[in-house]
Structure 1
């Protein structure tokens, strides 16, 4: 799952059971962040914007369901791009995608009573939501297990084209925003859920993840230093 050398620094190489626990916890925290960002009501991430817009176009399906459909579609696109490199193991990515969809619907239900009229409180809620979302991503990176189909598609394009991973991810997010806006104009009279919070999300999530990497390195260094001092103080 690590895309850069700096991400490799936080990878957990311990027991598989612990890593899966970390991964599932990351998914739950991430979906709680998404849910709170939606409740803030001042704009959400490109992916969430598209799936949330679809819940207004065809209401019988939940956002979690639309999210899973999007992940399924991205897995199909990954197959088209990867071709011979696509294996049965790639279908394993649908398992965490299903877990994410389930957790998203659960957290949307748990947070449905949350709503603020004051813009300042909405802003604070979104900032907190993005912090949760980023921490969930951080835990999933640390677990280093199965890629979600969307990330798998971006990674496959990265390997095939040689373009920078960040550029591909940015282009992908912009494409989702455009699709969301087009659907909004076509069926709802205008784009929905694309506001200042959408751009806040793009900035804050990346900064929060940088902060978590920094804190992890500091804590790891402090723990290692403490353990060294204990060993040095032991009588021989």
Structure 2
């Protein structure tokens, strides 16, 4: 039963994370760095954010395979399942929040704040349950371990690459920068700290759900 409960809590973490992404998009104030490429690809291709998220995450898994080669294990391969399921949850969350878009700036800020809290809880729950790591973080960890670089440094560089790539794709294919605003900067500066707060205050409560 503990393993089943752990998996259920993990799935709940994915759902919470997907709603965090949906709220950040609906706020219209900019998505988080790791969501910037899927969002931009969605605007370019006309596909759903869930579909492009699955595609981007799958690309991150392929890069892990290229780096790890024979050290690529079944645990890494399971990230494909995570990516597909998370893509479905993201589309579900986008559908359920479809009527929340507004032009009222204070409300947008409130939605952004909600998104940051949801993302922090979602990310921490997924990490704490330790079922399957999400693909972008899996790629960051793979690079950090393979070349013996501090995880946080690789994460920071990865976020910059995501945002830079999103800007280039937006300018080339859309003609303007899309999905990147003050909320992107706020997310970059605050999500890590919020995860720290969740870890300190809610670790035992979250863990008690599956232990």
Q: With the length of structure 1 as denominator, give the TM-score of the two structures.
A: 0.83
Q: Which residue of 2 aligns with 1:48?
A: 35
Post-superposition shift, 1:122?
A: 0.7
Post-superposition shift, 1:119?
A: 1.1
SS of corresponding position for 1:116: coil
Q: Given the alignment, which residue of 152, 159, 184 partners 1:166? A: 152
Q: After TM superposition, where is structure 1 displaced by more than 4 Å over at least 4 residues in a row? A: 217-220
Q: Are 2:184 and 1:198 aligned?
A: yes
How far apart, in 1, do the equivalents of 2:203 and 2:125 lie? Answer: 14
How far apart, in 2, do the equivalents of 1:219 and 1:109 lie? Answer: 30
Post-superposition shift, 1:103?
A: 0.3
1:41-98, Cα deviation, whole Å (9 max, x unpaired): 0111122221111122111x21111111111111111011111211344211111111
SS of corresponding position for 2:78: helix
Q: Which residue of 1 aligns with 2:26?
A: 39
1:9-32, Cα deviation, whole Å (9 max, x unpaired): xxxxx8111110110000000000
Q: Residues 55-74 of structure 1 correspond to what in structure 2 (within 5 A)?
A: 55-59=42-46, 61-74=47-60
Q: With the length of structure 2 as denominator, give the TM-score of the two structures.
A: 0.93
Q: Residues 1-236 of structure 1 correspond to what in structure 2 (within 5 A)?
A: 15-59=2-46, 61-216=47-202
Do 2:16 and 2:122's aligned partners in 1 also have CA atoms closer than 8 Å? yes
Where does the alignment leave 5 or more consecutive residues of structure 1 unmatched?
Answer: 1-13, 224-236
Q: Superposition RMSD on alpha carbons, in Å? A: 1.8
Which has the larger Rg?
A: 1
Structure 1 residues 219 and 73, CA, compared in 2 at 3 Å: closer, same or farther? Answer: closer
- Residues paired across the two proteins, number: 207
Do 2:17 and 2:122's aligned partners in 1 also have CA atoms closer than 8 Å? yes
Structure 1 residues 123 and 162, CA, compared in 2 at 3 Å: closer, same or farther? Answer: same
How far apart, in 1, do the equivalents of 2:137 and 2:76 lie? Answer: 12
